[in-house]
Amino acid sequence: MIKKAILPVAGIGTRFLPATKVVPKELLPIVDKPVIQYLVEEAVSSGIEEIIFVISKDKELIRDYFSPNPELEETLRIKGKSDALQKVAELHKMAKFSYVYQNEPLGDGDAILKAKELIGNEPFMVLFGDDIIKGDVPASKQLIQNYTGGVIIAVEEVDKKYAPLYGIIDPGVQNGNLFEVKTLVEKPSPEEAPSNLGIIGKFICPPEIFEAIENSPSGKDGELRLVDGILSLSQSQKIWALKMEGQRFDTGKPDGLVSANNAYLNA
Ligand code: UTP
């Protein structure tokens, strides 16, 4: 069973500046809850019991958000605001929350390595801070239900003109929404894209991924990436991709967050 999830949220959120100069993008709201709460709810409703946040000193507010706030709770109690009190008081009980630090933004792979000691010898979920999927079955649950070992990657169909914004999989045998992955191509041109299946920031990885990330070369920007670790691991383990059911929003950029707000507000 998959019981732990790493949420690397130490990135600097350049696509959302200046809003993210002081407020982490993960705390920007979709209606009345921050993006990160949707991700925690997704994980918890899929059976995840421990959430390991990888944060930086600029992201301490995320830790505050999932910690008790006795003063606020007392004020709400005195004012008789029981609905508000319940919403606030339940946050830190949603899961076991752990925090590790990435002091420099050296890539999502480097961030994941910081959580290695807390994972142990079991497969685990990785959820990037941006990708929200609105649908009947929580996205993490879809992945867990289809996981048989190796790596499973969430993908969505994308118009090939947007292929340069994605990692694109080269699919092998298909069984319903599940695809064998032959290889991955990072940000290909539309002509070079091997399919229209783009990678979304949700994965289940085996513990061997840590060594694979450690041994993968850093990219030209000096960053270590999870996808490079997955590529190395593909030599010894199976890689799968699951086309997600539901509507996906990239909340790490303004139009994606606005679309998510419209969708959830009108739901
Ligand atoms: P993104 O590619 O979205 O990067 O990272 P970012 O810095 O958050 O945002 P932009 O692209 O500059 O606008 C994917 C996930 O990996 C985390 C991010 O927080 C996000 O959840 N990440 C990225 C880290 O934790 N550390 C890093 O060094 C880079």
Q: What is the mean pLDDT of residues 201-226?
A: 93
Pocket of ligand 1 (CB under 6 A): 8-16, 54, 102, 105-108, 110-111, 128-130, 201, 252
The proportion of the chain whose per-residue pLDDT surpasses 90, expressed as a percent, equals 96
Which of 39, 55, 125, 128 to mutate to test ligand 1, by most ligand atoms within 8 A of the CB atom? 128
- The closest residue, in CA terms, to atom 10 on ligand 1 is 13
123-146 per-position pLDDT tens digit: 999 999 999 999 999 999 999 999
- pLDDT above 80: residue 46: yes
Question: Which CATH number fits the domain that encloses residue 218?
Answer: 3.90.550.10
**Please, which residues have CB within 8 angstroms of residue 66's CB and are 6 or more apart in sequence?**
40, 53, 91, 92, 94, 97
- pLDDT above 80: residue 219: no
Contact between 134 and 263 (Cβ < 8 Å)? yes
Average per-residue pLDDT in the chain?
A: 96
| Full domain range(s) for residue 193 | 4-265
Contact between 142 and 245 (Cβ < 8 Å)? yes
- pLDDT above 90: residue 173: yes
According to the model, what pLDDT value does residue 28 have?
Answer: 97
Task: Report the domain count for the chain.
Answer: 1
CA of 14 to the centre of ligand 1 (A): 9
Element (H, E) at 48: none
